[in-house]
Structure 1
């Protein structure tokens, strides 16, 4: 007997709703009553009833028929529900669609992602200015701040700009003109990641070391560097 009841329960089925709806329905302009109405309509549709009456909806909720009808009308006006009309065999067939709700959910998700990216980029940008001022040992001039902003606008990732700064430090030429030349060379060579920048610099250093062994030069303890300005 218990097994039969459990089997009947399992046959009721389940509905799948992105958890994003439960954490962001307020941002989407919905309240708890409206979310439950949308879930009920979705469940009706999953079970073969695409156009439940206000009375059928009211049987499942704590609202009367008129309240449920008003809620449905409000959801249609707000753009979360669409009433579709079809004429199979010259007979009018109406159905509720909550696809607009899913579209609004996607829009909200993308907006949330964009806002998070903006916050991250702002933090990266602030970090860049701090790092540059630390390496230069002084506040950046208005021209230097403008140059740094220009680099970021030219799709240079913050990590690549930091890598170019480190390259200039290793070369003993910490100035914006030198860093700008490094970024220009990297962009020309299609370098877009930290790993690519690292490999490019290491290859050139190896090349310079080999050249020094072949060509006699005055003894020096200095670290060989890539003179980007002369390229």
Structure 2
């Protein structure tokens, strides 16, 4: 029989946070369900400190054979969803590890080129881009709920206080706060410090309405896409994240 102590130990292993935007869009990136599951397992292993899981370790978690896993890994590397990188450890030995950075870049490029589709997600109540007809209390409650969903955990008292300050003292539109959260998720930087920097940047630029913020985001991304000469999300070109902390 499983003891309470064993159960608590298992629960303390933590969890792997998967962005909602990835789950909503991986099909559009031409990833199969099995390939997505493989990437999730690799992400999970890396978050556990196993940066280069073996084929056997992956096979133990999935229903695929080693041959199938090898083929999928080769395709994911060939199609630039996954990379194997190397570095020197403390003993000056070369060690390899998986990197999902190419996956995040592909997702970012897709969302950038299809920013109108992301904004339209308001119809699914994912990223509201305009005011809802409900009460301000309901809108504020949705902000806290959305933050917990994207952070993958309950908010701390300090985090709740920060969000409450944005809403009550700064009088920020809840939809603008959600748009700032979306920018942080796209950049894979889930921190209130990063989101606060985004909000301050928008305030500094005099952006006080949802439409102004959306136009600002679209204008910047179109400028970057034009600057990079990019015509499609799957082209092998550099497309930098809009890092608000470096502005």
- TM-score between the two structures when normalised by the length of structure 1: 0.48
| Greater helix fraction, Structure 1 or Structure 2 | 1
- Which of the two has higher C-alpha Rg? 1
Higher RCO (C-alpha 8 Å, min separation 6)? 2
